[in-house]
Amino acid sequence: MSSGPLVYLSGGVGGARLAHGLYYSLPPELLTCIVNTGDDLVHWGLQVCPDLDTMLYTLADVADVERGWGLASETFEALAGVKRYGGESWFALGDRDLATHLMRSEWLRAGATLTQITERLRTALGVRAPILPMSDAPRETMIETPSGTLSFQRWLVEARAVPRVDRVWFRGDAAASPTVLEALERARLVVIGPSNPYVSIEPILATPGVRERIARLPVLAVSPIVHGKAVKGPLAGMLQSLSGWPAEARSVARYYGSLLRGYVVEHGDHLGIDSALPVLATHTVMKTRSESRDLAQAVLSFAKELGLWS
């Protein structure tokens, strides 16, 4: 049995909620969150990193929990102005949220890396655990549909995730950042959050240098499917169109395959999972902070029971 730092892999809102529970259950030096940047986009000339920002805002307790993205108590006056000028209004940046994108874009132009910038943002927001973009260079998630190929946000937000997904691929050959690789070298346990495996976790795993390091570590995952439905987002349709699998927790375990040493599902969702894979069935839907903390503690206890971590 080994003990030590935990690396947490995450996409957007579901992943950030469990991160919140882990953040309040572990000393900050034991938790590092590695976050998907495949959803990033340049919008209104600004660099926007939705999953990084969801993680930053959630851990800083300033997120809009209801909406699932952006900041609480947000206003959209700049968006109204952009609309008046005939600009692009399919992707909404809030007035307060703009400060993050303005500063990130300015610092990028001045030569800072996305890792350094995220470090500045999280320090300013009072977040004590590191939040790492998977890569410092662009690596964009592309969605192939019957009517053409779209960037991820164009597909999810502008096209409302309606076009069928025939293939997902990543544009750009960016490697993992050195900070990500160091965190994985130090890690003693990897937890994969309840995020979409195809478009939130796979971009991280497929970043050169990551999968082989993770394969050497004990890995637990939490199912993003509860009772046959994705807790949020387009995963159910993707399981069907990309793999021909049902929207069930077992399909996500099948996706990760031999990477997993344990799997956490909602009560009643354990059916059909390979009997060789240890499963914890518990309450996994996180609507409140205490549910996030309870799930985090259940995941950590499960890792200890399995002898993977102490």
Q: What residue ranges bind ligand FO1 (CB under 6 A)? A: 11-12, 39, 48, 50-51, 53-54, 69-70, 91-93, 97, 153, 156-157
Min. distance of Cβ 96 from ligand FO1 in angstroms?
11
Between 204 and 280, CB nearer to ligand FO1: 204
Min. distance of Cβ 89 from ligand FO1 in angstroms?
9
Partnered with residue 264 across adjacent β-strands are: 222, 280
Between 39 and 202, CB nearer to ligand FO1: 39
Min. distance of Cβ 186 from ligand FO1 in angstroms?
27
Min. distance of Cβ 97 from ligand FO1 in angstroms?
6
Between 4 and 81, CB nearer to ligand FO1: 81
Between 98 and 189, CB nearer to ligand FO1: 98
- Closest-approach residue to ligand FO1 (CB): 12
CA Rg value for the chain? 19
Strands ordered across the beta sheet of 140-145: 148-151, 140-145, 167-171
Tokens at 248, concatenated: 């069930």
- Is residue 47 helix, strand or coil? strand
Q: What own/partner pairs with CB < 8 Å and gap ≥ 24 does 100-109 have?
A: 100/53, 100/56, 101/43, 101/44, 101/46, 101/47, 101/48, 102/46, 104/46, 104/47, 104/49, 105/45, 105/46, 105/47, 108/47
Between 65 and 157, CB nearer to ligand FO1: 157
Min. distance of Cβ 207 from ligand FO1 in angstroms?
16
112 contacts 121 by C-beta, under 8 angstroms: no
